[in-house]
Amino acid sequence: MDGAKHRRRKAAAKRHLRLALQSFLPRFAIIGTAKDHDNQRAQEACAGIRADEIVIFDKAYVGFVHLRQLPRRGVFWVTRAKDNLDCRGEAAAA
């Protein structure tokens, strides 16, 4: 792929999928270069998610601004925590 230049001597492409849980078939896909971090594609991949749906994603997609927006839209989400995540809540930080 000509557009998949990642480094001087390497090339890579990434595929981000949104699956229908009823059929496990892709409902939406983004194919791009590997130079962008996964969390930059998370909002784009979740744009069509409706209220009461559940998003399950890898820890590379963790972006706190995006995670805050999902429940405000009525969307539930599940992910793994990064190893260096500081998960003290706002009350603990005060």
Query: Which pLDDT score is estimated for 83?
Result: 84
Residue spans per domain, the chain: 2-81
Query: Which pLDDT score is estimated for 2?
Result: 55
Query: Which pLDDT score is estimated for 92?
Result: 46
Query: Which pLDDT score is estimated for 7?
Result: 56
Q: At a CB cut-off of 8 Å and minimum separation 6, what does 83 contact?
A: none
pLDDT, mean of each 10-residue run, the chain (94 residues): 56 83 87 81 87 88 88 93 74 48
* Residue 49 CB neighbours (<10 A): 19
Query: Which pLDDT score is estimated for 94?
Result: 46
